[in-house]
Amino acid sequence: MRMGRPNKKRRSSKKIKENAVKPKYSSGNLVVGQVSSNVVASFMTPLLNDMASLSLENYADLMLQYDDEVAALRKQKLEDEAASKEKDQEEEVEVNMDGSTTDAVEDQEDDVEEWMPDIEEPKGFLFRSQRLVDEFATDVLSPTARQFSAQTNEWKVHANAAKFERQLDEKYGIFRPFITNHPEVELFLRTTQRKYAMGQFSPLRQGEPPLNRTTAIIMLFMMHRNKVRWEATALAALFFLVGLQPWALVLIVSLGYNRVQARKSLKIGCMDGKIVEPVEAYYKETENEGNMTTEQRKQEFLKTPVGTNLDKGTSLNGSDYDTMVLGSGADALYTAALLSRAGRTVLVLSPDEDASGCQMIQNDDKGFGSVPFDVRDSTVTNVQRQQKLLAPALCTTTDLQGGVRFAQIGTEADGFAFNILSIPGMGTDGSSESVPFVLRAAGGAMGLAEDAATFLGDASPPDDISEGPGNSMTLAYLQACAGMNATASQYYLSKVLPEKYKDMLSTTSYQEATIRRTSQFLDQCLPLNAHIRSLMAGIGNRGENIKPSKMSMGPHVSNLCAATSGEGMHYPIGGPRSLCHALAAVIEQNGGRIVTGVSYKELLFEEKSPKESKKKIDTKKKDDKIEQTETKVETVNMPKCKGVTLKDGTKLILESADTSIEPAVVSTLGFIMTFIHLLPEDIRSNYGVPVGFPALAERRPVLRVLIGLKGTAEELNVTGADYYRLPAAGLARDEMDPVTGQVMLGEIGWTDDNDSLPDDPATEEEGETVGTTGEKRGKRSKQAGILAPQNKKNSSKRTKYDSGASWMKISFPSAKDPTFAERYGNKTTCIVTIEADDDFVTPFDTKPKLFAPAKADSGRVNRLLERVTKDLIETYPQLENKIECVEVRGPFGAGLSHTPERYAAKGMRPETPFPGLFVGGSDLTVGDSFSAAMVSGWLATNAVVGYNGLDLMYLSKNITTDLEQFMPEPVMGKEEDLAVPYTPPKKNPLPPAAEENLVTTAEPSKEE
């Protein structure tokens, strides 16, 4: 009860009025105040009767109006026609037979009666008479009222049935008969609809997640830290953080897989069609074969140089080709062969007389004028990987490798020895002495650790390598290097990727090692044994005379892993010409050409304005006011490389008939030759060089002494293993602090770099330097890379070749090839490689640091030959009185030095800043390595073809996989189709000093 207010009156819905008046049209059982159940009889029947009567009345009214309008129109028409007749013509009177007359107007009345006005009769009325209204009331309304007033409610059954039929038609349409005949289908559909309405088919998860957000983030971070594949990490993030259902994840994976397969099936580069046409082997029979046998014909073919010499009336037209490869050797031909397979027409311009890179002795009367000297050292490491890399370029109709096979250097008797290292002080008590250490393939890393334990005082490795390195410092160091080398492929592959994709890659251990110095790792990992440090430094740095304190750890790791892989070293059977002839056949049969003896002058570029100015409007808001400032932004338009100019003035300009193919110039000559000697001066000064290039240093050029020996390798008792003298890996002088007792680690390679050796003064003229082709060059600017001689470094000290001490490499290529004697008989080739001293090159302290060739008189050349011959005879005493001819070649550029700056420079990649210009060669990977040069050619080919980061990083789609996919399998016969028949070689003996140090794996264990 509310105070001061009366209670609110409430209405009752159950109260019924006593004297209520019934409606006019109602059923007999209708109760006023309640709703009747028979709505049809009480409400709808009177309403429909009234509507029918009203419709009839409206129809009658409209019909009356229609008749009146028709009569008025007919009358008006008659009057108009009569008036027109009277006015226009005389009245015509017809005379009947009885003599009476009839006007023509009467006949016109009959015509008017037949005329109907253009007025529509009322339509759309259902009831047009009272009879139809009565029939509607008696035949339709009354039965309907009775039906709905029946106690059985049969009308509801019929209504529900009609509704159900209509719903079935709306839901299933033409599939209704199938669903009604199979009730289980309808049950499944209803269940599915119910689940969908409950949200079970939503791609997002319903309810609480399996893990809270914090735990999920921690788990994803751990997955990223443990280097789980990015695809798995992304799916885990979608499941835990976004909340996708498992079926949605499966759908995403399926769609992604389909997209990946569609991308992988796309044709490569500019390949015409999806099938790469196979080629025939280069040694197939020809019409002008003569009476030679198949084996004789194959051997004779290998005596011919690779390519066509430019001096033999060769005409060149650059417009016939869309790709140009500059360089010689197997790496240049391999790059050209891959591009030919990809649908390009390639022109190879080799500066050598033989595109295989081999050289011959000139002015010789001992028969060595036609004998090839493999100055590039075609020794192959990791042969199985290299064969897989070479197969797409070599494949023919009858053989997957183009008939080319590789023979392992060494024999089982000597453990397949492939290298002999002479490191000052290692393995001896005195620093001046040297005992050669033999590297052999047998046993791999375990075999090297056992030899180090036997001769260098290291601990013995365990019997089972799966147990770990044990106390062996050598094996532990090799296993650590193998772990870093496992990510080397990802590092070198990143050189092809654009910069935006590089940010998506995590830094690998090999990449971190490339910017560190070797001495840091050696001192930290091997502090107790200086002999082991020198051995590891010698194996990792044997290709260049550089101290570990200056060398990058990356190539050191690669060289160590290659030497201890267990596969040893291999050499192409038939020499480098066998491999290069096979690659040349692929190039030429695809429309390409190989021209030798070409002298380059400079690269050709399209002329463009160096800078272009564009307006840029910056909008800033200051004190509630908008201010716009206009600035000029200068963008550099890099010129496009379109060809090369030769020294005779010939301009070779590439053209492509297909607009989808961009002309490309690939230089395998290295970065120094490409950007210092071939890049025009105006282009370099206006546009610069690749990023980081000025911070690098050129490796000191090398001289190669070609020596022809009388007798076969077996008769001369020489080995196929290469001999290295490595002063830069000399034994470190460790000292102990008398006060603290700590060991002070000395520097590896403590010997001076052959400086301050007295000799004759330089012969070059002041103010001039000697160019790469022998002509004198004037002063050049820093942009050109070479400064005037007054800027020379260490002008008071001169680097000279010191007999018995300087860096040296001795190799016998003919001893590596088991078929050499079948072609050239009683001859052996020897190549001694040394660093060019200051009599042959002039160093310049420029950016980058460079060397320029210098003229040396015959006296200095002869004195150098005497020193080199002396060292050769001391190392191989059996060669005394066996030397037939000697000739010095060089100096040859050896590429960039293996410093950390080389691997840290961002511009060291196949794609250069200049469109259309690409760089190959071992400068991209590891110098002085045949296998690394092949990888560099592979990288350059992928850059030219144009694979993007998605292809290379995630789809594993590259030139090799695409050629394997689209190239038909060769038809193999019962016997292998070989370019050169192979006979396993006999035991290759070692030098006397190395024979004493050679042991088998079993011997140390017996002594122990």
Helices in 466-574 by DSSP H: which ranges?
473-485, 488-493, 499-502, 509-514, 518-525, 530-540, 553-563
Which of 133-147, 829-843, 850-864 has the weakest average pLDDT? 133-147
pLDDT per residue as tens digits for the range 445-460? 999 999 999 999 899 9
Give pLDDT, residue 3: 53
Which comes out higher in pLDDT, residue 222 or 754? 222
User: 82 versus 430: which is more confidently predicted?
Assistant: 82
- Sequence length of the chain is 1008
Q: Is the dihedral of CA 682, 844, 911, 582 positive or negative?
A: positive
Average pLDDT over residues 703-711: 93
Whether 695 has a pLDDT exceeding 80, the answer reads yes
Residue 301 backbone phi and psi in degrees, to 5: -65, -35
Give SS3 for 555. Answer: helix
User: What is the DSSP secondary-structure string of 442-482?
Assistant: TTHHHHHHHHHHHHS-PPPPPSSGGG--TT-HHHHHHHHHH
pLDDT at 109 over 90: no
* pLDDT of residue 70 exceeding 90: no
pLDDT tens-digit readout, 918-940: 999 889 999 888 889 999 999 99
Calpha distance 450→1001 (Å, rounded): 7
Lowest-pLDDT range of 14-18, 381-385, 422-426, 833-837:
14-18
Q: How many Cα atoms are found within 13 Å in the side-chain-facing hemisphere of 386? A: 27
How far apart, in Å, are the Cα atoms of 995 and each of 408, 436, 437, 519, 1003? 19, 9, 10, 31, 14
- Please report which confidence band the pLDDT of residue 438 belongs to, taking 50, 70 and 90 as the band edges: very high
Structure tokens at 6: 């009366």
Check pLDDT > 70 for residue 362. yes
Mean pLDDT of 863-877: 93
Q: Specify the higher pLDDT residue, 361 or 108.
A: 361
Evaluate if residue 4 carries a pLDDT over 60.
no
Mean pLDDT: which of 102-116, 129-143, 348-362 is highest? 348-362
pLDDT(1000) > 60: no
Q: What is the per-residue pLDDT for 793? A: 44
User: Which residue has better confidence, 227 or 671?
Assistant: 671
DSSP 307-360: SEETTTT----GGG-SEEEE--SHHHHHHHHHHHHTT--EEEE-SSSSTTS-B-
Give the CA diameter of the chain. Answer: 174
- Strand 308-309 vs strand 406-408: parallel, antiparallel, or unpaired? unpaired
Contact 540, 557 (CB under 8 A): yes
CB-neighbour burial class of residue 381 (10 A; exposed 0-12, middle 13-18, buried 19+) = buried
Residue pLDDT, tens place only, 614-668: 555 666 666 566 666 666 656 678 899 999 999 988 999 998 877 778 899 999 9
Give the span between the Cα atoms of 599 and 349, in whole angstroms: 9
Least confident range of 35-49, 359-373, 913-927: 35-49
In terms of phi and psi (left: phi > 0; alpha: psi -120 to 50; beta: otherwise), the region of 273 is left
Whether the per-residue pLDDT at 313 is higher than 50: the answer is yes
Question: Which residues sit opposite 244 in a β-bridge?
Answer: 204
The four Cα atoms 789, 794, 796, 797 give a dihedral, to 10 degrees, of -120
For 887, the 3-state DSSP assignment is strand
Q: Is the pLDDT score of 298 beyond 50?
A: yes
Angle at alpha carbon of residue 57, lines to 53 and 60, rounded to 5°: 140
- What's the pLDDT score for residue 120? 76
At residue 746, the pLDDT reads 87
Helix (H) or strand (E) holding 68: helix 45-88
Angle formed at CA 737 by CA 735 and CA 738, multiple of 5 degrees: 120
Task: Please determine, for residue 781, whether its predicted confidence score (pLDDT) is greater than 60.
Answer: no
Spatial CB neighbours of 27, under 8 Å, sequence gap ≥ 6: 36, 38, 41, 42, 149
Answer whether 331's CB lies under 8 Å from 941's CB.
Answer: no
Count CA atoms within 13 Å of residue 769 on its CB side: 22
Burial of 258 (0-12, 13-18, 19+ CB in 10 A): exposed
21-31 mean pLDDT: 54
pLDDT above 60: residue 76: yes
Q: Which residues sit opposite 835 in a β-bridge?
A: 702
Radius of gyration of the chain from Cα atoms?
49
Q: What is the reported pLDDT for 97?
A: 54
Helix, strand, coil percentages (3-state) for the chain, rounded to 5, are: 40, 15, 45
Q: Which residues are registered as beta bridge partners of 626?
A: 621
pLDDT (tens digit per residue) in 962-972: 888 888 888 87
Most confident of 118-132, 137-151, 943-957: 943-957
List the single range of 294-308, 375-389, 750-764, 792-806 with lowest mean pLDDT.
750-764
Helix (H) / strand (E) element for 869: namely helix 858-875
- DSSP letter string over 789-823? GGG-SSTT------TTTS-EEEE-HHHH-TTHHHH
By the 8 A CB rule, do 578 and 332 touch? no
9-23, 71-85, 293-307, 850-864: range with lowest mean pLDDT: 9-23
Tokens encoding 71: 């009569």
pLDDT at 28 (0 to 100): 53
Q: How confident is the model at residue 552 (pLDDT cuts 50, 70, 90)?
A: very high
pLDDT band at 756 (very low <50, low <70, confident <90, very high): very low
User: Residue 507 and residue 515: Cα distance in Å, rounded?
Assistant: 12
Look at residue 217 and give its three-state secondary structure.
helix
Instruction: Say what the alpha-carbon torsion angle 857, 863, 866, 867 is, to the nearest 10 degrees.
Output: -120
Would you place residue 784 in the very low, low, confident or very high pLDDT band (cuts 50, 70, 90)? very low
Contact 386, 931 (CB under 8 A): yes
Return the closest-CA partner of residue 345 out of 646, 591, 604, 673. 591
pLDDT of 400 higher than 60: yes
Close Cβ partners of 757 (under 8 Å, ≥ 6 residues apart): 798, 799, 800, 802
**Residue written as tokens 């193919």?**
661
Report which DSSP code applies to 621: E
Task: Using DSSP, state whether 626 is helix, strand or coil.
Answer: strand
Whether 403 and 281 have beta carbons less than 8 Å apart is answered as yes
Give 303's DSSP letter.
T
Give 718-737 pLDDT, tens digit per residue.
989 999 999 999 998 888 88
pTM (2 decimals)?
A: 0.74
CA dihedral 643, 700, 491, 527 (to 10 degrees): 180
d(CA 938, CA 69): 99
973-976 contact pairs (CB < 8 A, 24+): 973/398, 976/399
More confident residue, 881 or 296: 881
> Average pLDDT for residues 384-409, to the nearest whole number?
90
Percent above pLDDT 90 for the chain: 35
Structure tokens at 769: 């330097």
Q: What is the pLDDT of residues 457-511, one digit of tens each?
A: 899 988 887 778 888 999 999 999 999 999 998 899 889 987 777 666 778 899 9
Is residue 431 very low, low, confident or very high in pLDDT (cuts 50, 70, 90)? low
**Mean pLDDT over the full length of the chain:** 80
pLDDT of residue 125: 77
Could you give the CA distance from residue 851 to residue 734 in angstroms, rounded to a whole number?
34
Question: Using one digit for the tens of pLDDT, what is the confidence trace for 162-210?
Answer: 888 888 888 888 888 888 888 888 888 888 888 877 777 788 887 788 8
Q: Residue 855 corresponds to which tokens in the numbers above?
A: 């003229």
Range from 240-249, 252-261, 616-625 carrying the lowest mean pLDDT? 616-625
